[in-house]
Amino acid sequence: MTSLVSPTVTAPTLTAVEVERIRNDFPILGQRVNGHPLNYLDSGATSQNPISVMEAEQEYYEQRNAAVHRGAHTLAVGATEVFEAARETVAAFIGASSDELVWTSNATEAINLVTYSFSNASLGLGGGAAKRFALGAGDEIVVTEMEHHANLIPWQQLALRTGATLRFIPILDDGTLDLIAAAEIVGTHTRVLAFSHASNVTGIINPVAELVRLARRVGALVLLDACQSAPHFAMNVVDLDVDFVVFSGHKMLGPTGIGALYGKADVLADMPPFLTGGSMITTVSMEKAEFLAPPQRFEAGTQRISQAIALAAAVDYLRETGMDKIGGWDKELGQRLVAGLGEIPGVRVLGPGVGVERLGLASFDLAGVHAHDVGQYLDDAGIAVRVGHHCTQPLHRRLGVTASTRASTYLYTTTDEVDEFLATLREVAPFFGVTA
């Protein structure tokens, strides 16, 4: 498994003092839940927002609210400028050019944008340039067994619409990808390879370079789901050499309702649009329409203006804090989580154990106690975790469980909070009368 940080170099990290300072920027963390201080360990689902992000969205509505790319009056021009400045900020965060970043409502929509564009190309839309995306019988789409439903179901549906075949790379018993099988599955019929940068269940960081190499060997396009990686690690899409990257704002200190699709400029230029209507056209007659160049070609209708501006403020916060430090802290907390869970009787961690690089999250099964009961006990103590299948039913099925409990950290999580979670979890099995 390739590492995002060289194993021979000590990675920078946040200090306890820095984490406490960061926490002061997040008002929600100061509240009490069920009589206890909130211990928020569900950032893998949705992160919290610093004051600067909330203020950025409020400032837009108070001072700049207008339709972008439409009005010629001063307020509209100013709104358009800050909207496009936000695009430049977020694109730069991942090493992209601003014309390679398409705003979407979330990563799910971003993946659907790609699959429906390919579907339209398969119908002959988009002209000769779009033929490279056309799929049919005999073509194969490859995903992995660990994918979030958002990076599985759209490809299932695309296969059904086009007659292509969907295949998947299986995982091994430890939750890692079976790379031997991957080398056999990604073959001459593979047109698309889509996979997650990091698992939202096991915390595993996938070997992007090795998977991209397999795809490039056969000329396949690559889509990377970076929902769990973009918030936690510095990443550069040019270095990764993927064709598409998707991520969501609400997992990286931003608001809900905003996400993004990165696409290589030449790839986006050849893709037919998914949504059509206003703001994405050049010329319209009663018989036909011609479309703008990307990214506007894929941004029909009124956009998520305030959310994009707030996401840019979130990116500024992350960059000022230091992505290397955030990544180092995340990994420290991840190791602390999995080490502590391994000492609790009856706990089975999903995925690898101590020493294997992982995100600051861990999912587990507690023998004899349903995940929902575990979550309820923790919630009574003010500890917020995620329970269920985490939108990964095939992965859970492969690992032999129907549901799990997940604790996930972020830059505002303290070691004391992790330790409190572990101590409280020790109480759960005895409370329900379960003995190891």
CB within 8 Å of 351: residues ≥ 6 apart = 174, 175, 176, 199, 201, 202, 203, 204, 358, 362, 363
Instruction: Identify whether the C-beta of residue 107 lies closer than 8 Å to the C-beta of residue 246.
Output: yes
Instruction: Identify whether the C-beta of residue 425 lies closer than 8 Å to the C-beta of residue 343.
Output: no
Residue 257 three-state SS: coil
CA proximity to 254, closest of 306, 316, 318, 310: 310
Handedness of CA 302, 306, 311, 316 (dihedral sign): positive
Burial status of residue 267 (CB atoms within 10 A of its CB: 0-12, 13-18, 19 or more): middle
Beta bridge partners of 406: 363, 386
Reported as type and span, the H/E element at residue 168 is strand 165-169
The Cα 363–Cα 33 span in angstroms is: 23
Burial status of residue 366 (CB atoms within 10 A of its CB: 0-12, 13-18, 19 or more): buried
Which residues form the catalytic set? 391
Kindly report the three-state secondary structure assignment for every residue of 99-163.
Answer: HHEEEECCHHHHHHHHHHHHHHHHCCCCCHHHHHHCCCCCCEEEEECCCCHHHCHHHHHHHHHHC
Q: How far is CA 173 from the centre of its chain?
A: 24
Name residue 322's amino acid: G
